[in-house]
Amino acid sequence: MANSNLATMQQYQLFIDGEWRDPANGNWFETANPYTGTVWAKIPRGGAEDVELAVAAAHRAFKTGDWPALTASRRGQLLVRLADVLVENAEALAAVEVRDNGKLIAEVLHQCRYLAEWYRYYGGLADKIEGTVPPIDKPNVLNFTRHEPLGVCACITPWNSPLLLLAWKAAPALAAGNTLVIKPSEYTSASTLEFARLTQQAGFPPGVFNVVTGFGNEVGEPLVRHPKVRKVAFTGGESGGRHVNVAAARDFKSVTLELGGKSANIVFDDANMGQAVNGAISGIFAASGQTCIAGSRLLLQESIHDEFLDRLIETAKSATLGDPMAAGTNIGPITTEPQYRKILDYIDIAKAEGARCVLGGAPAKSVGKLFVQPTVFADVTPQMRIAQEEVFGPVLSVLRFRDEEHAIEIANDVNYGLAAGVWTESLRRAIRMSERLEAGTVWVNTYRSTSYTTPFGGYKASGIGRENGIEAIKEYLQTKSVWFYSGGDVANPFVRR
Ligand code: NAD
């Protein structure tokens, strides 16, 4: 059991219908700082009763009151106001996030400032969603389409980037006019509750934004199954995603699923080696490898394999592990104990499968309880589990390839299809590779960039639907076709003519 610091212990409440309330069952659970092990807050352990209240509030706010009465422009302005409030509070939010998930302050602070752009972008988009007037093939008819919100949307987020991944859902969903019930990860709920305070400050009407914290089976499950929830936007692992997808399908709910990855970072022999080494390092070791887009498979062309590997190991060795709040830290702790154990299990599996551990391969106990050494496995073959399954930690698998065809064959031979990187100076090869890689995102001579302006999502088991960019708002809208007849007579259908 972790140490607890009662003097500074914070007890959170649920945010439902614009009010802070205790969970109906009167239960809380503890959340600990993954770096220090100190329990610093109590999080409400919500249940079905709280879900019921939150969905009812969100449904009411969708149907009646201030929210549906707002014009799209006013709704957009509210989102932009939220973006301003976010920027003002970015440092405080980042500190909470680091305390809860152990990511580096530099990365989280950047993220907390950057996520305001999602609210600004979709705020701007709110009044630019236009229907069409199809040139209908019938006389005396005016037909037009309008895009309408879906209703109550459930947003379920994981622990690695809670506020950013919430912004990817909440910003387009709110811009489209929906209302939300949010369930953050049980490991990192605090920042979402702090964020709820900011929605209040920005002036969102009660019931538009609700947060019910708790566990997947106790809150997530009843939320996804609730008949008044019309859309589920989920980011998380493959098994949770499958569960949510099946449950939502029963009631024909729309889903967006952002799931795992086993992304290939592919380096050709004509690449700028220094840049590609840096790209491979940030691809796998950023956030201690706990990112869905981690470039966890490094594919090296045979002719540069050995030299590249040496340079990669040299750079990886220079990483400083330690306090995520310290400016000089490159790699922080693993966020959760189960994830820490899972990573160590995969290291054992890789060794047992015959992969050659050329760096790390063990816990970094001298740094802290939940640290894993940056780990690199060479001589990985495509069918090894370490080349097929998501580790979600600082563990890189290095594979060799002969030529373009071989690189494509290895890169695409996994269930996932979230992202891929290609390092080459050949424009033609880059174009060919970007066309043939089965991945929702392909980076050429860069890795890991995402933006509010461009769609993000997975092929194959990496997900369904897209977040970000203009097309993401359509995930939160449904189209109505409206017909007006202007002819003089509506014929009696029972009279033969
Ligand atoms: P997880 O699937 O364990 O949990 C994600 C969320 O789903 C949590 O809030 C959890 O409580 C909830 N949940 C779990 N079971 C549920 C159920 N049956 N019904 C409803 N909700 C349920 O994932 P995690 O361990 O928190 O996050 C890591 C995973 O997320 C990795 O696989 C990673 O690749 C993925 N991820 C994907 C993206 C992306 O955009 N594609 C981004 C970040 C993380």
Average predicted confidence (pLDDT) for the chain: 96
- Please name the residues in contact with 252: beta carbons below 8 A apart, sequence gap of 6 or more: none
Nearest to 196 by CA among 211, 181, 179: 211
In degrees to the nearest 10, what's the CA dihedral of 233, 237, 240, 243?
80
d(CA 364, CA 373): 5
Q: Tell me the backbone φ, ψ of residue 5, rounded to 5 degrees.
A: -115, 85
Taking a C-beta distance cutoff of 8 angstroms, is the pair 11, 42 a contact?
yes
Catalytic hit among 186, 194, 292, 438: 292
Taking a C-beta distance cutoff of 8 angstroms, is the pair 276, 241 a contact?
no
Candidates 29, 31, 55, 159: which one to mutate for ligand 1, based on the most atoms within 8 Å of Cβ?
159
Give the whole-number percent of the chain exceeding pLDDT 90: 97
Q: What is the mean pLDDT of residues 59-74?
A: 98
d(CA 361, CA 357): 6
What local confidence, expressed as pLDDT, does residue 497 receive?
74
Taking a C-beta distance cutoff of 8 angstroms, is the pair 363, 347 a contact?
no
CA of 90 to the centre of ligand 1 (A): 24
Q: Is the dihedral of CA 235, 236, 239, 240 positive or negative?
A: negative
d(CA 443, CA 342): 28
Token digits of residue 189: 């709920």
Q: State whether residue 143 is helix, strand or coil.
A: strand
Q: What is the mean pLDDT of residues 272-281?
A: 98
| Ligand 1 contact via 390 beta carbon (within 6 Å) | yes
Catalytic hit among 238, 258, 438, 475: 258
Q: How confident is the model at residue 496 (pLDDT cuts 50, 70, 90)?
A: confident
Q: Which domains does the chain have, with CATH numbers?
A: 10-259+462-480 (3.40.605.10), 264-444 (3.40.309.10)
**244 CA closest ligand 1 atom index:** 19
* Total Cβ atoms within 10 A of residue 261: 29
CA of 189 to the centre of ligand 1 (A): 13
Q: What is the mean pLDDT of residues 274-293?
A: 97
**260 CA closest ligand 1 atom index:** 34
d(CA 335, CA 340): 8
**Can you spell out the DSSP letters for 359-383?**
E--SB-TTT-TT-B--EEEES--TT
d(CA 73, CA 126): 6
| Ligand 1 contact via 224 beta carbon (within 6 Å) | yes
Q: What is the pLDDT of residues 366-420, one digit of tens each?
A: 999 999 999 999 999 999 999 999 999 999 999 999 999 999 999 999 999 999 9
| Ligand 1 contact via 183 beta carbon (within 6 Å) | yes
470: amino acid identity, one letter: I
Nearest to 447 by CA among 289, 328, 301, 282: 282
- Catalytic annotation present for 258: yes
Q: Are strands 28-32 and 39-44 parallel, antiparallel or unpaired?
A: antiparallel
DSSP state of 70: S
CA of 236 to the centre of ligand 1 (A): 2
Q: What is the mean pLDDT of residues 193-197?
A: 98
Token digits of residue 418: 């979230």
d(CA 168, CA 186): 19
d(CA 155, CA 258): 11
**186 CA closest ligand 1 atom index:** 11
Residue whose tokens read 């690189």: 407
| Ligand 1 contact via 292 beta carbon (within 6 Å) | yes
CA of 185 to the centre of ligand 1 (A): 7
372: amino acid identity, one letter: V
d(CA 49, CA 380): 49
Nearest to 397 by CA among 298, 306, 287: 298
| Ligand 1 contact via 185 beta carbon (within 6 Å) | yes
Protein residue whose Cα sits closest to atom 14 of ligand 1? 216
CA of 317 to the centre of ligand 1 (A): 31
CA of 270 to the centre of ligand 1 (A): 38
DSSP state of 216: I
Q: What is the pLDDT of residues 124-159, one digit of tens each?
A: 999 999 999 999 999 999 999 999 999 999 999 999
pLDDT exceeds 90 at position 470:
yes
* Total Cβ atoms within 10 A of residue 305: 18
CA of 239 to the centre of ligand 1 (A): 8
Q: How confident is the model at residue 7 (pLDDT cuts 50, 70, 90)?
A: low
d(CA 113, CA 164): 10
* pTM, to two decimals: 0.96
Looking at per-residue confidence, does 196 or 489 come out higher?
Answer: 196
Nearest to 177 by CA among 472, 477, 480, 479: 477
pLDDT exceeds 60 at position 3:
no
Candidates 111, 229, 244: which one to mutate for ligand 1, based on the most atoms within 8 Å of Cβ?
244
Q: Are strands 375-378 and 28-32 parallel, antiparallel or unpaired?
A: unpaired
Encode burial over 355-376: b for 16+ CB neighbours within 10 A, e otherwise: bebbbbbebbeebbbbbbbbbb
Q: Tell me the backbone φ, ψ of residue 168, rounded to 5 degrees.
A: -60, -25
Q: Is the dihedral of CA 90, 93, 99, 104 positive or negative?
A: negative
Give the whole-number percent of the chain exceeding pLDDT 70: 99
Protein residue whose Cα sits closest to atom 35 of ligand 1? 236
| Ligand 1 contact via 216 beta carbon (within 6 Å) | yes
Taking a C-beta distance cutoff of 8 angstroms, is the pair 463, 281 a contact?
no
